[in-house]
Each structure stands twice: as structure tokens, then as C-alpha cells.
Structure 1
Amino acid sequence: MNVLVLLAVILFILMALIGGKKGIKSFIALFLNFVVVIITVLMMNDPNADPVLLTLLACGIISAISLFYINEINSKTKMAFLATILTTVLLLTFIFIMTEKSMIQGFSEEESDGLTIFSVYIGIDFVKVAASVIIMSTIGAIVDTAISITSPMKEIHQHNPGISRKELFMSGIRIGRDILGTSSNTLFFAFFGGYMGLIIWFKDLSYSLGEIINSKVFSDEMITILTAGIGVAVVIPVASGITAYHLIASQKK
């Protein structure tokens, strides 16, 4: 049996045994999100298509699948979805400016040797492609943080309906502070785990610390991680504010 198939079967069995019905839905959602990403990448091959708009549309679909399909449509998933979209829009301009100024688009010097026989004049704006990569890389962490804020805030409000809007908002911020540290570490070590071979390669090439930091392939990944961390930090007050406003406002009706 193919290793990938075997690992997928093991993952499905574990998610079904531990997560039950929701675990099975989570596995299906993982597959659906993968299909969305593949279709988005294929559509980017059209020179008339805008990679950023396609990515934003894909992020909306991925967020909807991750929130509404797995956790159903309710107030906490609606607020998490709204917080995710608002945070992504707020980051969009920042990502565009940072991508253009840092010049991380295109292929790195280390990748150029294997591409010499191919033409890179493919009619696609590489700045937009680089921005799309960063946006797509941040959406998972933002969605995860958003639902991790809105869900406990709803529980707090249900058990303490007399809580004020400010107190509820600060409860969301305190929850977010605990999530922020673990999420940042997850993003950081995911990079070093996935790019351990690259770091060893840099060592074998006798790269200095300055050359490593200034290499495009390293900077590209670090900027993506830092942007994802910024997205996680931004979505905490956004989700807390939206949830506190909605829960108190709905209570007064």
C-alpha cells in the first residue's frame, strides 16, 4: 500500500475513533480544502485571472468549510467567519506593501539552477503570486484562533448573562493571550521542521548568518511565518470585539 494512502487511512481511523462524527467531518473538510487549493492554483494559470482575488475567494470557501461544515452554522461560527474575513482584509494592504518592498517574489538564487531550461515569462504577476502564498498560509491559523476565541466567549456569556460588554471583551483578550503564545510557537517550529533540510544545505554551502538571513528562500518563509503571527495577533481583538458586541446586543433585543 502506498505510504500516503496508509497514513491517510490511519489519520481517518484516529479522527473517527477520537472525534466521532465531528472527527469524520474534519477529515472530509481537510480533503475539501485541499481540492479548493488545487483548483485555485490551476485557475491562476490563466493570465487574465487575478491571483489575489482568487486567493481571497478560496480563503472564504476554506473558512466556510472549516467553520460551518465542521461546527455547523451558529452564532459562534458566524462571528468567527466574520472576524476571519475582516482580519484578512486588514492584512491585505500590509501584505502587498511588504511583498513588493522585500522583493521576495519569484524564484530564489538556490532554485535558479534547476530552472535554467524553462522560461519564466509566464504572464503572471509574481508579486501577486507571492502575496497570495502569504494570504493562503495565514488563513488556517487565523480561522483556528477566531473559533478558539468566539466559542469560549459564548460559553462565558451563557453562564454569566449579566456580564458587561467590556468585561466580556476583556475575557476574550485574556483567552487570546494564552492562544497567542502557543500559536506563534506552532508556526515558528513548523517552519524549522519543514525546512530542516534547507538549513543543513545552507551549512554545507558555508553560508554566513548574514547570507542566510538575506537569502530569498529563507526570507520568504520567515516573512510568511511572521505575517501569520501578525494575523493571529490581530484576529484576537477583532474576534473579541465582534463577539462581545453581538452577544450583548442580541441579549438586549
Structure 2
Amino acid sequence: MVLIKKTLVAIAGTLISLIITGILANLFVSESRLTGFASEEASFLQAAKQGTINIQGLLLAGIIIGVLGVLDDITISQSAIVFQLKATKNKIQFGDLYTKAMNIGRDHISSMVNTLILVYAGAALPLLLLFIDNPHPFSEIVNYEIIADEIVRTLVGSIGLILAVPITTFIATWIALRWNHDASKS
């Protein structure tokens, strides 16, 4: 039964975080006026499909899928942490359980954001190398769409991860304590 509750909490935390991340991605992409045409592949796809593909939507989908890869890990871990902490101390209060789980979650956030940044940097390594000895000022370089895409991906992904921990921890804490409370009534 605990496995089902942990799984449902992780799913809920992932979905809520993913919805927020999707809204942020849409806002960041639209406010920064990214078109999605930063890569040759996007231009090729647009030509091959005769303009029937929404390239900006494809950019958004790529951001969301990229974040989902790390969101599921962090929400599953946070859910498991809360239920494990609850199992070790049965009479724990909401605030104490939430705080203890968040202390662990902060460390997890740091490692996952670092992982996300390294993954994006690794994928964009050839691009980054092009700009090492570039004579243009930094303020100009960050406004190139190909660079702005990576900045938006990293920012949105990091914000989504940072939000996933307190969201999932809150849900898990509430369920862990509620489930225990309901079980003691029967």
C-alpha cells in the first residue's frame, strides 16, 4: 500500500511541476521571442513538412520532455524520502516531517540542477566552442537565438526542478500523515 501511495504522490508532484514548467516555458519562449528555428534540423523539418509543423511548439515540447527526464527522478526520490522518514518516526508532526524532507531535498535539488546544466552544456558543446574566441560582446552573443534557446531550456528546467521538491514534499507529507491518521481510526 505504501508503494502505491509513494507512486501516486510522485505522479502528482510530477504532473503539477510539469504543468508549471510548461506554463513557464511558454512564457519564456514567447517573451524572448524564440522561434524554434535556431537549429538546421528545425529548418529542414519545416521545409520537408511544407510548413505544417509548429516549430515553436516543437521547441516547447523539447523543453518539457527534457525537464520530464529529471522531474520524475526528483519526485520519486522526494516521495520515498518522506515516507521513509515517516516510517522511522510514527508520531512526527507535519512541520517537522516537511522540514526534514526539505533538508534532504535541497541537496537533491543542487545535484539535479547541476546535472541538468551539464547535460545541456554537453549537448551544446560544439556551439559553446564556437563562441570562446568570438569577437562579439557577451550581450550580443546571448541574444543569438541558438544561445537563447539553451539559456531558456536551462532556466525553465532549473525552475521546474526547484519547484518540484517543495510541491512533492508537501503532497507526500500530507498523504503520509493523512494515511496514518485514517489507518489509526479503523
1:80-229 correspondence to structure 2 within 5 Å: 80-108=10-38, 111=40, 118=47, 121-203=50-132, 206-229=135-158
Is 1:233 the counterpart of 2:153? The answer is no
Runs of 5+ unmatched residues, structure 1: 1-72
Residue 96 of structure 1 and its aligned partner are, at CA, apart by 1.4
CA contact (8 A) 1:172 1:236 kept: no
* Deviation of the 1:77 alpha carbon: 1.7
C-alpha separation in 2, matches of 1:219 and 1:250: 45
Residue pair 1:80, 1:143 contacting (<8 A) in 2 also: yes
* Alpha-carbon distance in 2 for matches of 1:81, 1:119: 37
Query: Once the two structures are superposed, what CA deviation does each residue of 1:174-194 show, in whole Å capped at 9, x if it has no partner?
Result: 111111111111111222222
Determine if contact 2:17/2:164 at 8 Å carries over to the other structure.
yes
TM-score, normalized by length of structure 2?
Answer: 0.85
Identity value in percent:
21
Higher relative contact order (CA 8 A, sep 6+): 2
Aligned partner of 1:13 in structure 2 is none
C-alpha contact 1:105 1:129 (8 A) present in aligned 2: no
Contact 1:145 1:232 in 2 (8 A): yes
* 8 Å CA contact 2:85, 2:101 repeated in 1: no
Change (3 A) 1:129 1:202: same
- The CA distance in 2 between the partners of 1:171 and 1:180, in whole Å, is 14
Contact 2:102-2:165 within 8 A present in 1 as well: yes
Rounded Cα–Cα distance in structure 2 between residues aligned with 1:119 and 1:82: 38
**What's the C-alpha RMSD, in Å, of the aligned pairs?**
2.3
Q: Whole-Å Cα distance in 2 between the matches of residues 189 and 92 of structure 1?
A: 21
Offset at residue 237 of structure 1 (A): 0.9
